């Protein structure tokens, strides 16, 4: 797990790392995430519960964003997390950036799936946060 520690060198212990995975992680990444001692958050599970209540897609999206906002601002500032399936749009990414700025926090990195919208990847590359394929593969070792 030495390569995992290297990813977090400027952020202290890996338990404090804040990571985002744009899209749904594959099984290798998911097992790696579960091996870390940090919270794993996915709005997909929040959306499923809202959909089961037979709400409209707009209501589900708004309820999911509100639930994510409550989670984000209720957690301890130094607690690490891996956030998957969010942000899904450039607008959501900018809103999430504002949340981070409000709390004075910074992401350790952002990885993406092959189906991630190009504008999201460009956004996080511009911020210097996007973890490219070989870097991501090296942290899964």
DSSP structural state of residue 128: T
Judge whether 41 lies within some domain: yes
Q: How confident is the model at residue 1 (pLDDT cuts 50, 70, 90)?
A: very low
Judge whether 141 lies within some domain: no
- Overall domain count for the chain: 1
Judge whether 7 lies within some domain: no
Percent pLDDT > 90 in the chain is 24
More reliable by pLDDT, 137 or 87: 87
CATH number at residue 120: 3.40.50.300
Judge whether 6 lies within some domain: no
Q: How confident is the model at residue 29 (pLDDT cuts 50, 70, 90)?
A: low
pTM of the model: 0.72
Judge whether 32 lies within some domain: yes
With beta carbons less than 8 A apart as the criterion, state whether 19 and 130 touch.
Answer: no
What are the Cα distances from residue 17, in Å, to 42, 45, 63, 79, 108? 16, 22, 26, 8, 6
Judge whether 22 lies within some domain: yes
Which residues span the domain enclosing 76?
16-136
pLDDT, mean over the chain: 75
Judge whether 25 lies within some domain: yes
pLDDT tens across 92-103, in order? 999 999 999 999
Distance CA 121, CA 111 (A): 9
């Amino acid at each position: 797990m030495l390569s995992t520690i290297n990813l977090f060198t400027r952020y202290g212990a890996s338990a404090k790392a804040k990571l985002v995975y744009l899209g749904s992680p594959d099984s290798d990444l998911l097992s790696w995430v579960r091996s870390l001692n940090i919270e794993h958050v996915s709005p997909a599970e929040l959306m499923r519960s809202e959909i089961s209540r037979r709400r409209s897609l707009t209501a589900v999206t708004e309820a999911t964003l509100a639930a994510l906002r409550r989670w984000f601002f209720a957690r301890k500032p130094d607690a690490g997390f891996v956030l998957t399936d969010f942000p899904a749009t450039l607008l959501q990414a900018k809103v999430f950036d504002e949340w981070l700025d409000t709390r004075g926090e910074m992401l350790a990195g952002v990885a993406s799936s092959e189906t991630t919208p190009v504008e999201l990847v460009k956004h996080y590359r511009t911020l210097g946060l996007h973890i490219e394929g070989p870097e991501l593969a090296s942290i899964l070792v």
